[in-house]
Chain A
């Protein structure tokens, strides 16, 4: 089986019923999708399949042969965050971080698909994502800001010391 993960074609050796979540985390070492409830209820394993948000814990890999998968590692880089990542940073929308990658990917897909700027539409788009720090207000504020074009990409979040080692992100395209 083959998957394109963050733009890179990968040969998959896991058995056909293995959920995509385990394929990503254990076979490919891509750890932004989190193993939370593993029954589709919490949203922390969410990735994009063909651009649409899906629960990686519910998808047997054999049903995905040839699919195009995007994880958080494929969205922005530490040097150039995507608009939604920038918005999360600016609005302090991450607390413990466990739900963040799922939230960011779902919000990214919402914006890419022209979801609009209505608070209610944003809530509906994130309804399957649970934040146990209860940081919902800041998360919704961040998505609303990004939807309203109040943030731009390419804003650095790392101090520019000039000497710092590049940040290595497992699973990110080279």
Chain B
């Protein structure tokens, strides 16, 4: 059993976005602590021995703002605060873990989570990829805004500030149900139809961060064919929740179900 932590880490508690950016600097040897649902157990179990901890609890950075059709979500917004948003993000957030964890886990933590030891992490990434979200972050070279795909490819050394997207015309979410005692979904698929009609599809629970499924998108009008095409765009990993073998056979089913839902919603 893990015992009480004796740690001599420096803890910095910024009280504003500006202070948080300043304290983060270029991010070297800084451990960012947002909701704590990943970092705190890692410290308890000795997987992480942080030297300098940037605790964002008092830094603001939270809240969902709507301006016209644009929705902006602060990095410290809890997953619970997203559950009433439209599909795919709302239902995807409602599927994360349980009531207590959703109230504590943050959007920023979900996007920045390193791959889990026993289970995939970052369900919301799939919804936000499908929504073509833009990420605003700080770090070496200053502040920048880029697509979530670009951010996921190079997120080390960046402090995520907020994420924004255009309200979609419609969206859908399908998941591989989790067994009762696990908080993580083995595989999730999110689709969104933009106001212009473009359909984007993404999956979380594959190897590494969530990925877009362009081969499936190319056949989005035919759910069955799109499902069959989806496996070409993802690689799969074995973990405690499911085998790669099982995920590979399940992804086409989830893509088909999500696209069928989308058609029914239209």
Q: In the complex where A58-B36, A60-B36 touch, is A17 in contact with B99 (Cβ < 8 A)?
A: no
Q: What are the 9 tightest A-B residue pairs by CB atom distance, in nearest-first order?
A: A128-B98, A39-B41, A63-B57, A22-B4, A16-B11, A127-B98, A58-B40, A58-B36, A38-B2
Distance in angstroms from B115 CB to nearest chain A CB is 16
* A22–B5 CB distance below 8 A: yes
* A125–B41 CB distance below 8 A: no
Distance in angstroms from B103 CB to nearest chain A CB is 6
* A60–B55 CB distance below 8 A: yes
* A15–B7 CB distance below 8 A: yes
Q: In the complex where A17-B53, A58-B36, A60-B40 touch, is A52 in contact with B103 (Cβ < 8 A)?
A: yes
B45, CB-defined interface residue at 8 Å: yes
Question: B4 is contacted by which of A26, A58, A127 (Cβ under 8 Å)?
Answer: A26
* B100–A54 CB distance below 8 A: yes
Closest to A64 in B: B57
A57, CB-defined interface residue at 8 Å: yes
Interface string of A35-69 (1 = CB under 8 A from B): 10011110100100000111101111011000000
* A60–B33 CB distance below 8 A: yes
Interface string of B95-131 (1 = CB under 8 A from A): 0011111011000000000000000000000000000
Beyond known contacts A53-B99, A130-B181: 8 more, CB 8 A cutoff: A15-B5, A15-B6, A17-B5, A26-B4, A43-B100, A52-B103, A57-B41, A128-B99
B195, CB-defined interface residue at 8 Å: no
The tally of residues in B whose CB lies under 8 Å from a CB in A reads 36
Q: Which residues of A contact B13 (CB under 8 A)?
A: 62
* B100–A62 CB distance below 8 A: no
On A, residues with C-beta under 8 Å from B are 14-19, 22, 26, 35, 38-41, 43, 46, 52-55, 57-60, 62-63, 106, 124-125, 127-128, 130
Q: Which residues of B contact A55 (CB under 8 A)?
A: 37, 100-101, 104
On B, residues with C-beta under 8 Å from A are 1-9, 11, 13, 33, 35-37, 40-41, 43-45, 50, 53, 55, 57-58, 97-101, 103-104, 180-183
* B101–A19 CB distance below 8 A: no
- A149 and B181 CA atoms in complex are apart in Å by 30
5 examples of A-B residue contacts, CB within 8 angstroms = A39-B41, A40-B183, A57-B41, A60-B36, A124-B99
- A39 and B11 CA atoms in complex are apart in Å by 21
Q: Which residues of B contact A17 (CB under 8 A)?
A: 5, 7, 9, 11, 40, 43, 50, 53
Question: B41 is contacted by which of A38, A128, A130 (Cβ under 8 Å)?
Answer: A38
- A15 and B43 CA atoms in complex are apart in Å by 13
- A40 and B35 CA atoms in complex are apart in Å by 12
- A157 and B7 CA atoms in complex are apart in Å by 43
* A62–B55 CB distance below 8 A: yes
Q: Which residues of B contact A40 (CB under 8 A)?
A: 37, 41, 97, 100-101, 183
* B11–A62 CB distance below 8 A: yes
Closest to B80 in A: A52
* B40–A59 CB distance below 8 A: yes
- A133 and B181 CA atoms in complex are apart in Å by 14
- A18 and B8 CA atoms in complex are apart in Å by 11
